[in-house]
């Protein structure tokens, strides 16, 4: 399932996939794969992404 919440939160801060990737210590391809729903990140990576984007785990990764 695509993670449009992550993509939207990243875009709202005017961050490219590359910029977010550098901030959390992964490749741009990893961020792309998470957004496309092709990669299930570790909880540690989820938390790092949330901190950089100012969001909670629920806001970015919880599926209703």
Enumerate domains of the chain plus CATH numbers: 4-61 (1.10.260.40)
What are the structure tokens assigned to 35, written together?
Answer: 């957004």
φ, ψ at 20 (rounded to 5°)? -65, -40
Whether pLDDT at 47 is above 90:
yes
Whether the Cβ atoms of residue 44 and residue 51 lie closer than 8 Å to each other: no
Whether the Cβ atoms of residue 9 and residue 53 lie closer than 8 Å to each other: yes
- Region 39-61 average pLDDT: 97
Cα 12 to Cα 42: distance, rounded to the nearest angstrom = 23
- Region 21-40 average pLDDT: 97
Rounded to whole angstroms, what are the CA distances from 27 to 22, 37, 52, 58, 62?
Answer: 7, 16, 15, 23, 23
Instruction: Return the pLDDT at 1.
Output: 83
Query: Structure pTM?
Result: 0.93
């Amino acid at each position: 399932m695509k993670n449009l919440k992550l993509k939207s939160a990243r875009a709202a801060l005017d961050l490219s996939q590359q910029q977010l990737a550098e901030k959390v210590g992964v490749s741009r391809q990893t961020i792309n794969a998470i957004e496309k729903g092709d990669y299930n990140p570790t909880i540690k990576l989820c938390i790092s992404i949330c901190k950089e984007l100012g969001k909670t785990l629920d806001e970015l990764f919880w599926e209703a």
